[in-house]
Every structure is written in structure tokens, then in C-alpha cells.
Structure 1
Amino acid sequence: MKILHLETSSKNCSVAISQGDEILCLCEEVSENYKQSESLHTFVEWALEGAGISLQDLDAVSLGKGPGSYTGLRIAAASAKGFCFGLKIPLIAVNSLKTMIEPFLNKEYDLIIPLLDARRMEVYSAVFDGKSGEMLTKTEAKILEENSYEEYSGKKVLFVGDGALKAKDILQFPGEDFKEDVFPSAKYLIKEAVDKFNNNDFEDVAYFEPFYLKDFQGVKKKKTS
């Protein structure tokens, strides 16, 4: 099957095309300005061109459902729904935090904990087994404190994601390692998306909502006289 994968939950606007388990093309860019609204459809066009296929060749759309950037998730969800409705193909959704752990599985780590920056001292987080990739805790919005994750003291723990930059200065237990330049990526949606496709594990396109985890918090404009 040929699947279009969209991942925009973080600073990384990421689009991939796969055929079965094989990645055919990847277009992505990390930007501090969250350029999903500008880049997403251009990246889709480039990925299709790079893969040598058209939209009509797609069998499904796979989406990183969050948690993460409210605006980024809305943009990708709206696009994914449009493709699915227009092409009459199914929608597959994957927890975005899962896409951050795959490159580090089966290495020296007992646990892998992705941390996506959620502003101030808060992160989006979950705990995964470092060998099997099994999710051991639910996804949560967590305020980082000195004793956060101390229950895992004594284990070899890898923190990944832009939230790890904050954690590195706060957490106080041995055995931890940090990789701050890791973001959710469409290329790591492929494995689970293929499994879900084969099991007919699809979303209801009409009623699907991204996994926001927190309510939208906008910035109030200052009143002008």
C-alpha cells in the first residue's frame, strides 16, 4: 500500500510517502517559526513528485495526532481529512511521541522518555520501554521539577526532544542521557501506520480530532488607544 504521512506536532514540518514498509520520499524542515501553514502542502507536492506517484495512487493518509503544537495539529488534521474525503481513503492516526523513540530502541537504554516543549516549565511526555518500545505510562502534560521521574533512578534513561533541554538543567538523578535535537518525524509514522492499515484500524474521518492534551492558549493582543 502507498501511504502519505503527515507530522506537524512540533517545530518539524514533516511529510513522507511510503510503499509498504519502504520510505519512498521524505520532505521535512525544522523551523523555530512553526512554518507548517506555509510549508505543508508544498512538502506534500514535493514528496509525491519525489516518490513518482500522484494523490490518486494513495491508499491511506497517516497523521501524527499529537500531542504538540495546537496550530500545527489543526493544520495537518484539516489537510489529512481533506485528502481522505476527496480520495475516499482511510485515515490513520499515531501518537506523535512514539515517532521520537524508534531510532533509539534496542540500544543501551532501559527507558526512553520523549519530552516535547509545551512552554514555560511544562512538557508533553510519556515513558517507553527502551527495548520493546511499549508505552509504559499514559501521555501527559507534565511540569518539570527537580524530582520529576525520580522513580526511574538507577535505570539508564534517555530523554529526547526539545523539552529535554529544560530537563537537563532541572533533573537530579544519575543514569540519564539527553538528546535535544529530536522531533517527531513522518518517517517514523510508517511502521505503526502499516500495522494499523493491515488491521483496518482507521479513524472516523468526520469526527476525528487531534490529541491536543491541553486547551488552546492564545496570546492576547495589547489594547491600542
Structure 2
Amino acid sequence: MALILSLETATDNCSVALHDKGQLIASASHLESGAHSRMLPLLINQVMNQAGASFHELKAVAVSEGPGSYTGLRIGTSTAKGLAFSLDIKLLAIDTLKGLAHLARSQKPGFTIIAMLDARRMEVYREVFDSEGKQIAGIDSEILETDSFLEYLKEGQVCFVGNANDKASQVISSPNAYFLDSLPNASSIGELAWEYYQNERFESIPYLTPNYLKEFRVLKSKKNPFA
């Protein structure tokens, strides 16, 4: 066996999953704002008990590294680092938006995938992938406008996935746009984690920090220079 425990805490959805070589064995989640510190240990134990697995059987722990909620990412990362250190196992960090895109690809094959998480007002964190899962635009923040993502919508069908679809659908009206409402979850993180594990994309336990996007440039509105 090659058991990997995955944690997803980037949004209000606190999620845990256990995979064996990329195959889901058990999962659990709890949707509540501000409950991660209380619920994450309970969900981890629930998943391990559901699978009948021992913590000492784990080969690695994977965590969603952001972007997302500052508090949620901090809790998830510190928990994953603590498990990796105490159990002497590998630590994996998975891009939260890549996890969302991976989920969307299974439901909308052939679509360009734009994974988005809600930021403030009309701002989102976004990352763009082609239909094969290859990144074509890196993680950044963007203010949604009527002409947002036109370069992709003109070329074909685009699936927008994440928790920013309510405001995205207010300004994006292309017939090529499909809005898939889904929160990040540990099941998709765990599938990607197996690929990372096989490729030995391990993280340093002391030095791993979440991607809060603090260093990323905000794309200003092209129509309103004061936005």
C-alpha cells in the first residue's frame, strides 16, 4: 500500500481524504466558517477509522497550499507539517486551484478550465488550464469585468469552477461559459498527491508556507483606473 492522507482547508469547506496509490478509500468534510481548528482533527480521525488504517501506515500527508483563506491555510499547513514530522513521512503541497481544475476536468472533458476562488468585491484568485490539465495562465488575482477571459471564450468552451461563480456569472455572458459550482476538496488533492509522490515532489517540513498570494500583483481594471 501507499497511503496518502490529504487535507483541504483553503475555504469554508474543511475536507480530509485517504487514498491508496491515488484511489480514494475514505473521505469526510464539514462546511462551516471558522470551524477548521475544531473540525480538522475530528475529520482526520474519522477518515482513518472509516478506512481501518493506522497512522503508521501512511507514506505521506498532502495539503492544499493556497490561495485561499489565511486562517484555513495556516491551520491545514501546520496540521500537515505536524503529522509529517511526528510520523516521519513525506510532505506534499498541492496548488488549491490546480485541485479545483482537476475536479472540473473529470466532469467537463475537452473544456478549458478556469479555476477561481472568491477574494473581495469583484476580485478573484484565478488559474487557467487547458483541456489536458496543462497550466496556460498562472495564479494571479483579477478584477472581473465583462471582457474577462474573452481570449479563452472566443476559442471554445470554458468551464469556470470554484466559489466565485455567483459574481462571475453576473458579468460573463458568453454562450461558451459553463459555471460549475464546487468547493476545493481533499479527494482531488489526493489524486494529484499520488502523482507528486511518484515524482518525489516533496516539501521541506520546516520551510513550507502557504501561498497567501500576498506577493502577487492585483490586475487593475482596464476601464476604471481607480478600481
TM-score, shorter chain, exceeding 0.5: yes
Q: Please list every run of 5 or more consecutive structure 2 residues that lacks an aligned counterpart in the other structure.
A: 216-227
Counterpart contact for 1:94–1:189, Cα < 8 Å? yes
User: What per-residue deviation string (whole Å, max 9, x for no partner) do you get for residues 12-53 of structure 1?
Assistant: 10001111122111011222x242112101000101101111
Q: Please list every run of 5 or more consecutive structure 1 residues that lacks an aligned counterpart in the other structure.
A: 216-225
- What are the equivalent positions in structure 2 for 1:1-225 lying under 5 Å apart? 1-31=2-32, 33-105=33-105, 107=108, 109-130=110-131, 132-154=132-154, 155-180=156-181, 182-214=182-214
**TM-score, reference length from structure 2:** 0.88
Measure how far apart 1:190 and its partner are. 2.0
CA distance in 1, matches of 2:84, 2:56: 11
CA distance in 2, matches of 1:91, 1:103: 22
**TM-score, reference length from structure 1:** 0.89
Residue identity opposite 2:162 in structure 1 = G
CA distance in 2, matches of 1:158, 1:77: 29
Measure how far apart 1:214 and its partner are. 2.6
Root-mean-square deviation (CA, aligned residues, Å) is 1.5
Secondary structure at 2:77 match in 1: helix
CA distance in 2, matches of 1:179, 1:20: 27
Among all aligned residue pairs of Structure 1 and Structure 2, give the percentage whose two residues are the same amino acid: 37
The 1:110/1:24 distance shift into structure 2, 3 A limit, reads closer
Counterpart contact for 1:147–1:172, Cα < 8 Å? no
Measure how far apart 1:102 and its partner are. 2.5
Residue identity opposite 1:16 in structure 2 = A
CA distance in 2, matches of 1:108, 1:200: 28
Quick check: which one's strand share is greater?
Answer: 2
Measure how far apart 1:172 and its partner are. 4.0
